Amino acid sequence: MTLKYTLLKQDGEARLGELETTHGKIQTPIFMPVGTQATVKSMTPEELNQVGSQIILSNTYHLYMRPGHKLVAEAGGLHKFMHWDKPILTDSGGFQVFSLAKLRDIGEDGVIFRSHIDGSKHFFTPEKVMEIEQDLGADIAMAFDVCSPYPAPREQVVAALEKTTRWAARCKAVHTREDQALFGIIQGGLFNDLRKRSAEELLPMDFPGYGIGGLSVGEPKPLMYDCLDHLMPIMPKDKPRYLMGVGSPDCLVEGVARGVDMFDCVLPTRIARNGTVFTRQGKLVVRNAEYARDFRPMEEGCDCYACRNFSRAYIRHLIKTNEILGLRLTTIHNLHFLLHLMQDIRDNIAAGTFARFYKDFFAEWHE
């Protein structure tokens, strides 16, 4: 097997683990910064290292469109192409095909859609997605799934989960790359019995890890937590659990508390580019006028590069004048914040103090 998960310690439902991939070991629970187009927006690989990234995610749909998976393969694979030698996970393009592209037809075989860039017509099947992901060559690939929107009627969610199961089997059948682990994705929307059914269908296929898809798609947070409360107890203990598309600090803490090991989201980098940063007290909109003459760092006590060297006043000036350095600094801070939050979480699980950490975190955090 190309991926080995070791559960090092459990503290309540929170899990401290180690994931061994082709490009090295990852300490879980972990947040994965998103590098949609073979780059985490505005960051160099060295900067990703400096903020504490262990693994990044890249998007199959986007890389298939530009520059194309064949070109990436020709470059020696995604790691070499983008100069990142730590682990990478590629999603399956399922979410993008259903949310970003213009859908034409969802058949049993696959999905016909039009590019969000130039309107050109494309056809994704499980087999095609496996070809693309194997050409990209990430350490972890995700199976091609059908993601239902929120809200969605029960019949639609049933159909999506059933097709996801059939497509997962087809993905597994054609996935041959031994240095790449293939994860299945559990669907079922917010119907607890459907989540259970999806898990029962996919777990026997023995994927080395499982994504939990179709959450954080617009539903209230308590519904997501309730879904995890029901789903997590039936997940295997010896495999990593990846809650897809979740990246708000409070959601990370709540997810870990329920036994999630992996997260990804564009949120920290996206809000950074709009001039919003995380602090332990909640979000701070550094582009606001109230910070024009505030010469303190974005978050006092933070030891990220941005907070060590620049003031809110300067960063606000950069953002107001559309200077790239501004969003670079907010991006650095937000990734540093989330990755160090995960480090704190791991330290507390190791020390058996996660319950206390959880309480302290929410005493300070404000939405």
- Using CB under 8 A, list all residues that contact its own copies: 37-39, 41-45, 66-67, 71, 74-75, 81-83, 292-293, 295, 305, 309-311, 313-314, 316-318, 320-321, 323-325, 327-328
264 is catalytic: yes
Between 205 and 313, name the residue whose CB sits nearer to its own copies: 313
Between 138 and 182, name the residue whose CB sits nearer to its own copies: 138
Query: CB of 37: closest distance to its own copies in angstroms?
Result: 5
Q: List, in order, residues 6 or more apart from 72 with CB less than 8 Å away.
A: 38, 63, 78, 81, 135, 136, 137
Cβ-count burial 30-64 (b if 16+ within 10 Å, e if not) = bbbbbbbebbbbbbebebbeebbbbbbbbbbbbbb
Query: CB of 325: closest distance to its own copies in angstroms?
Result: 5
**Start-to-end C-alpha separation, the chain:** 42
Task: Give yes or no for a cis peptide into 67 (omega within 30° of 0).
Answer: yes
| Catalytic residue chosen out of the listed positions 11, 85, 91, 238 | 91
Query: CB of 117: closest distance to its own copies in angstroms?
Result: 9
CA distance 87 to 181: 11
Query: CB of 131: closest distance to its own copies in angstroms?
Result: 19
Taking a C-beta distance cutoff of 8 angstroms, is the pair 90, 141 a contact? Answer: yes
> Which residue blocks in 137-220 are alpha helix, DSSP H?
154-174, 192-202
Between 323 and 344, name the residue whose CB sits nearer to its own copies: 323
DSSP state of 131: H
Three-class secondary structure of residue 15 per DSSP: strand
Between 27 and 44, name the residue whose CB sits nearer to its own copies: 44
Cβ-count burial 221-254 (b if 16+ within 10 Å, e if not) = eeebeebbeebbeebeeebbbbbbbbbbbebbbb
Between 128 and 328, name the residue whose CB sits nearer to its own copies: 328
Between 176 and 321, name the residue whose CB sits nearer to its own copies: 321
Taking a C-beta distance cutoff of 8 angstroms, is the pair 330, 277 a contact? Answer: yes
Query: CB of 294: closest distance to its own copies in angstroms?
Result: 10
| Catalytic residue chosen out of the listed positions 135, 145, 261, 264 | 264
> Which residue blocks in 204-244 are alpha helix, DSSP H?
221-231
The number of C-alpha atoms within 13 Å of 109 and in the hemisphere containing its C-beta is 5
Between 56 and 251, name the residue whose CB sits nearer to its own copies: 56
Query: CB of 311: closest distance to its own copies in angstroms?
Result: 7
Three-class secondary structure of residue 294 per DSSP: coil
CA distance 306 to 299: 10
Query: CB of 44: closest distance to its own copies in angstroms?
Result: 7
Residues belonging to the active site: 91, 264
